[in-house]
Amino acid sequence: MMHHLAAAFGGVLAGLALAIPALVRQQRILTKVRWMANHDDVTNLPNRRLFLDRLHSALADGTPTGVVLLDLNDFKAVNDTLGHETGNDLLDQVGRCLSGLSGPILAARLSGDEFALLVTGDRLATEAAADAAWQAIAAHAFRVANGVLRVTASVGHTHTHSLQPHVSARHLLSQADSAMYEAKITTGRVREYLPHRTATVRSRSRQRP
């Protein structure tokens, strides 16, 4: 009887010895798949999906939150003249600059050369993060295969303090995008969303030949 029990127990242990490594490998694969679903494959930053998830959570909790959007000025010229590989290298390095900003900031790549910062804090913290992002990019010499590149960004930002309760993430992103658009067609630096000023700038832009 004891002999049969020992044999059965040994069989169970042998089965576990084979099953556990397989389960560990499966768990690692699942973890990697989840990570890839929420991160950008060029910069390894959080992607639009994860950024929106965090933004929705912050708004649901009523956390004071700022959104900063930025894109690189004349990035298309980099791709056209130096190639997409160099462009991706530049995006990767810009992503590192943004992820290195201090404070409760989540940096993400949304698409193309457009990046976003989710800032936890008041309006001044958001403004400081937007300025810091612009400075970090403008002051950096990005080393790529073709040499050294210097680029600037157009940055727009907004904050929940100026919005009605229960504002949507879409509304917040739209405001930051409008401010970024204003920055791009004026100074190419940093702009905060101000409804009347942004509307005036858009109107003037449409009237240009």
- Write out residues in the chain with pLDDT < 50, as ranges: 203-209
* φ/ψ (deg, to 5) at 151: -130, 160
pLDDT at 67: 97
**Which tokens sit at 183?**
């920055």
Domain spanning 48-207: CATH 3.30.70.270: yes
Domains of the chain by residue range: 1-37, 48-207
pLDDT at 28: 61
pLDDT at 203: 46
* One-letter identity of residue 154: S
Q: Are 155 and 69 in contact (CB under 8 A)?
A: yes
How many angstroms separate the first and last alpha carbons of the chain? Answer: 95
Degrees to nearest 5, angle at CA 112 with 161 and 55: 30
Tell me how far apart the alpha carbons of residues 132 and 101 are, in angstroms, rounded to a whole number: 7
pLDDT at 195: 79
**Which tokens sit at 44?**
């390894």
Structure pTM? Answer: 0.80
Residue 16 CB-half CA count within 13 A: 6
Tell me how far apart the alpha carbons of residues 98 and 120 are, in angstroms, rounded to a whole number: 15
**Which tokens sit at 58?**
């912050």
